[in-house]
């Protein structure tokens, strides 16, 4: 959830109250799966020169959201995906 809040610039607690009609996770998950990062991103991030990092953050968020209840990613695994570690990216189905 924290990664989604960083990427979107929206608080999960306030998202539904802002009139979106659904929780932040429900709105963001299809966009993450489709790779529609530009629709998801906070406009303040579009000026960043390091879109690769934002993409890795989105990959890590997607990994966390689709993880099986009994097997959640550790913080080390999440950080490896965010950092763009090739082994972590390939382990979770993301290619560089």
This prediction has a pTM of: 0.80
Q: What does the pLDDT look like over 59-74, one tens digit per residue?
A: 999 888 876 666 778 8
**Residue by residue, what is the 3-state secondary structure of the chain?**
CHHHHHHHCCCHHHHHHHCCCCCHHHHHHHHHHHCCHHHHCCHHHCCCCCHHHHHHHHHHHHHHHHCCCCCCCCHHHHHHHHHCCHHHHHHCCCCC
Q: What does the pLDDT look like over 2-41, one tens digit per residue?
A: 999 999 988 888 777 666 668 888 889 999 999 888 888 8
């Amino acid at each position: 959830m924290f990664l989604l809040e960083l990427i979107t610039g929206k608080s999960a607690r306030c998202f539904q109250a802002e009139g979106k009609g659904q929780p932040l996770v429900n709105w963001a998950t299809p966009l993450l799966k489709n790779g529609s990062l530009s629709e998801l991103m906070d406009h303040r991030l579009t000026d960043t020169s390091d879109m690769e990092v934002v993409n890795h953050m989105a990959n890590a968020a997607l990994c966390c959201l689709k993880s099986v209840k009994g097997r959640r990613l550790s913080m080390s695994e999440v950080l490896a995906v965010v950092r763009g570690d090739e082994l972590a990216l390939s382990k979770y189905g993301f290619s560089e």
